Amino acid sequence: MFSTITKSFIIGRKSSLQFYKMKIARAVTEGGIYSISTTGSSTILKRNLKTLTNKEHTKSEDIKFEYLAGEREGVAVIAMNRPQAKNAISLNLVSMFEEALHTVKFDKSLRVLIIRSLVPGVFCAGADLKERAKMSESEVGPFVARLRGMSMEIHDLPVPTIAVLDGAAMGGGLELALACDLRVAASSAKMGLVETKLAIIPGAGGTQRLPRVVGPSVAKELIFTGRIIDGNQAHNIGLINHVVEQNQAGDAAYHKALELAEEIVPQGPVALRMAKLAINKGIEVDLNSGLSYEQAFYAQVIPTKDRIEGLQAFREKRPPCYKGE
Do 146 and 279 belong together in one domain? Answer: no
Domain that holds residue 76: 2-264
Do 197 and 297 belong together in one domain? Answer: no
Q: Consecutive 10-residue runs of the chain (325 residues): their mean pLDDT? A: 38 37 38 35 36 38 90 93 92 90 90 96 90 85 89 94 97 96 97 95 94 96 97 97 95 96 94 96 95 96 93 91 88
What 3-state DSSP class applies to 45?
strand
Q: Which amino acid is at 28?
A: V
Do 247 and 280 belong together in one domain? Answer: no
Q: What is the pLDDT of residue 36?
A: 33
Residue 170 dihedral angles phi and psi, to the nearest 5°: -115, 145
Catalytically annotated residue among 125, 195, 231, 268: 195
CA distance 229 to 267: 34
CA distance 255 to 260: 9
Q: What is the pLDDT of residue 13?
A: 32
Output the pTM of the full model.
Answer: 0.80
Catalytically annotated residue among 79, 125, 127, 219: 127
Residue 135 counted as domain residue: yes
Residue 307 counted as domain residue: yes
Q: What is the pLDDT of residue 60?
A: 63
State how far the alpha carbon of 216 is from the alpha carbons of 60, 71, 102, 148, in Å.
40, 40, 32, 20
Do 293 and 218 belong together in one domain? Answer: no
How many domains are there within the chain?
2
CATH number at residue 78: 3.90.226.10
Q: What is the pLDDT of residue 135?
A: 86
Catalytic: 175? Answer: yes
CATH number at residue 280: 1.10.12.10
Q: What is the pLDDT of residue 296?
A: 96
Residue 69 counted as domain residue: yes
Residue 225 counted as domain residue: yes
Do 36 and 117 belong together in one domain? Answer: yes
State how far the alpha carbon of 284 is from the alpha carbons of 162, 173, 175, 204, in Å.
21, 24, 19, 18
Q: What is the pLDDT of residue 57?
A: 36
Stated as kind and residue range, the H or E segment containing 13 is none
- The candidate with the shortest Cα–Cα distance to 212, out of 149, 134, 155, is 155
Contact 123, 166 (CB under 8 A): yes
Do 185 and 292 belong together in one domain? Answer: no
Catalytic: 71? Answer: no
Rounded to 5, what percent of the chain is helix, strand, coil?
45, 20, 30
Do 166 and 222 belong together in one domain? Answer: yes
Do 206 and 59 belong together in one domain? Answer: yes
Alpha helix positions (H), the chain? 16-30, 91-105, 129-133, 137-155, 172-178, 206-214, 216-225, 231-236, 252-264, 269-282, 287-301, 305-316
Do 241 and 288 belong together in one domain? Answer: no
- The candidate with the shortest Cα–Cα distance to 204, out of 153, 162, 146, 155, is 146
Q: What is the pLDDT of residue 35?
A: 35
Cα 217 vs. chain centroid, distance in angstroms? 27
Catalytically annotated residue among 74, 167, 171, 172: 172
Catalytically annotated residue among 175, 205, 234, 261: 175
Residue 324 counted as domain residue: no
Catalytic: 127? Answer: yes
Do 41 and 73 belong together in one domain? Answer: yes
Residue 133 counted as domain residue: yes
CA distance 37 to 248: 31
Residue 23 counted as domain residue: yes
Do 35 and 118 belong together in one domain? Answer: yes
Do 143 and 291 belong together in one domain? Answer: no
Residue 323 counted as domain residue: no
